[in-house]
Amino acid sequence: MRKTTQSKQVQSAPVAFERPAPRRVALVGFGNVGSAVAKILCERTDGLPRLTHICNRNFERKKQPWVPGDVIWTDDFQTILHSDADIIVELIGGLTPAEDLVRGALKAGKAVVTANKQLIARHGPDLLQLASASGSQLEFGASVAGGVPVLPALRTGLCGDRLHGIAGILNGTCNYILSRIESDRIPFSEALEEAQARGYAEADASEDLDGGDARAKLSILALAGLQVRANPADIRARSIRAIDAVDFDYAAELGCTVRQISRADLKDQTLFAEVGPSLVPTSSPFGRVQRNLNLVMTSGEYGGDVAFLGAGAGGDPTAVAVVSDLMFVAENLASGPRPQRRLQLGSPRVSCDFETPWYLRLVVKDQPGIIASLASILSAHHLNIDAILQKPGFEKTALPFVITLEPSRDGQLQPALQEMSALPFAVRPCLCLPILR
């Protein structure tokens, strides 16, 4: 029996290993990433899928001389859905109308490649199920960390491990701002303005600064790496807006710097997950990430820690991720419908109740008895002080100083913080950052 199967395989080889016929690609969304994808497809001549359609509003003003004349331009999704394209690349972003387009394409049996993090973070499990049911494929390697191939690595080189944790610097805007404050001790507002002037931050940067962008990405990493559903809305996001130059001075005293860290740890039936500014050792991979780069670190039961570093955004790097997915999908199409792994996702409780040491930075109007008041609140909540740091040279009316705490749970700390912020000498709410080791 076995012998027969083998010789059949051998006989079919000359056909099987011809280069597959180039697949037909429709690109929806011809912005920064879309035009970079088109450029790679038009420039590379080594058997990539062929660009056949481009869909964009007001496409007339978008037309480029380097796009071949036989590519069909349209502003109508229906034209794309009813076209002979095998693969739809969705690069319009956001939920509406991207969701309808992706669902429509999958239902029509077309493969979909998308870079849409909001869509995958919210509806990824559902859309993967739909792709399976339609005998189609859905790939989203560009939706997290742009040109850093962490999602493809989770699909291939790391699938042999059993991962229990993922942490990353997933938002280039925050990293740019924080590493600029670090290097020149400029105020937060100045770093933000600089990032906006350089095109690293939007005019309304809330989605970046307040963690909305990063938690969507963390949710996708948890889906692909930890095989769990985690609604981004259930992941706590703390803003980086309260970070100022003085925090880098105090962090340095502790051998640390400050970065926006997204992390998810799966323990039993709980996913500990959060996004927010954190103290990280300057000697750690996280502490060294500069400018708008991204870093993702996975932790596995067998393989230990693996780190990925590269450009998290930008048209060209993101386009590499999209084209890589296109090539993967095209190869799969060439071998007929491919049995996907059944989607077996856990649905753990999502909690931000990490146990960790803490950095508390207070700004007070100096007066006698401050430490005593604070120490008594902390003690009442069974929180142990590790160190008290106070740098000279500040105004007595707005004196920043730092208390570090021994490891304790987030849930144990929060009530103490509330009490501390209500104290009469507190000029600003206490800034509270986890210290990662």
Catalytic amino acids? 217
Q: How far is the CB of 374 from a second copy (least distance, A)?
A: 37
Please identify which residue in 185, 198, 291, 338 interacts with a second copy, judged by CB under 8 A: 338
Stretch (H or E) spanning 420: helix 410-421
Do the Cβ atoms of 334 and 21 come closer than 8 Å? yes
Give the 3-state secondary structure of residue 294. strand
Pair 249, 279: CB distance under 8 Å? no
* Shortest reach from residue 174's CB to a second copy, in Å: 20
Task: Tell me: does residue 382 bind a second copy (CB under 8 A).
Answer: no
Task: Identify the residue among 32, 74, 239, 332 touching a second copy (CB under 8 A).
Answer: 332
Q: Are 25 and 54 within 8 A, CB to CB?
A: no
Residues 293-312, one symbol each (x = binds a second copy by CB under 8 A, - = not), give: -------x-xxxxxxxxxx-
H runs (alpha helix) in 108-171: 117-133, 150-155
Piece in contact with a second copy (CB under 8 A), picked from 11-19, 87-95, 269-277, 367-375:
11-19
Find the part of the chain contacting a second copy (CB under 8 A) among 114-122, 251-259, 341-349, 391-399: 341-349
Rounded Cα–Cα distance for residues 258 and 264 (Å): 18
| Shortest reach from residue 84's CB to a second copy, in Å | 5
Is residue 252 within the footprint of a second copy (CB under 8 A)?
no
177 interacts with a second copy by CB under 8 A? no
Note whether 94 and 207 are within 8 A (CB): no
Q: How many angstroms separate the CA atoms of 374 and 360, rounded?
A: 11
Q: End-to-end CA distance of the chain, in Å?
A: 57
According to CB under 8 A, which residues from 113 to 132 bind a second copy? Answer: 132
**With binding defined as CB under 8 A, does residue 28 bind a second copy?**
no
Q: Does 58 bind a second copy (CB under 8 A)?
A: no
Residue that is written with structure tokens 């753990």 in the block: 348
CA distances from 368 to 217, 270, 371, 421 (A): 46, 44, 8, 17
> Binding mask 201-230 vs a second copy (x if CB under 8 A, - otherwise)?
------------------------------
> Measured from the CB atom, is 333 or 416 closer to a second copy?
333
Q: Contact between 9 and a second copy (CB under 8 A)? A: yes
